[in-house]
Amino acid sequence: MAHKKNRKEYGELCVPETTFVDYKNLPLIKQYVSIHGRIKPRYYTKVPMVLQKRLARAIKQARFMGLIPFVK
C-alpha cells in the first residue's frame, strides 16, 4: 500500500467537476515536465494512470501550440 500513500491528490490536476487536464494550465503542466522539456515518467509524478495519460496529452497539446518547448 505504500505506493498508494505516495500518490498525489486527484482533484488539483483537473478542471473542476471534470477529469480533464487543461493544456492552458501552464503553471501546472510545467511541474510535470523535466528541465529539458520531457514528460516526467509516472514513477516520479505518482499520478494515477488515467491522469498521467491526460497529463501527457495536455503537455503535447501545449507543445503543439507553442506554449512550452519540445526541447530546451
Partner 1 sequence: MATKAKASKKAAHDDLESMDGDDESTRRYELMAIIDPDVTEAQYKKHYEELKKLVTQHGAVIDFEEEWGKRELAYPIKKRKHGFYVIFNFDGDSAQVPELEAQLRITNFVIRHLIIKLPKGYAPQKYELDAELPRIEDRLEQRNERRGTRRPGNRRPRAGSGAPRESVKPVETKSAEIKPTETSKKEAPAKVTKKEAAPEVVKADSEKELKKLDKKLEALLSSDDDLNL
What residues make contact with partner 1 under the rule CB under 8 A? 1, 4, 9-10, 15-20, 22-27, 30-31, 48, 50-51, 61, 63-70
Q: Which is nearer to partner 1, 38 or 50 (by Cβ)?
A: 50
Smaller CB distance to partner 1: residue 11 or 43? Answer: 11
- In the complex with partner 1, the residue whose CB is nearer, 43 or 71, is 71
CB of 24 to partner 1, least distance (A): 6
User: How far is residue 55's CA from residue 24's CA, in Å, rounded to a whole number?
Assistant: 12
CA angle 15, 10, 8 (to 5 degrees): 130
CB 33 → partner 1: shortest distance, Å? 10
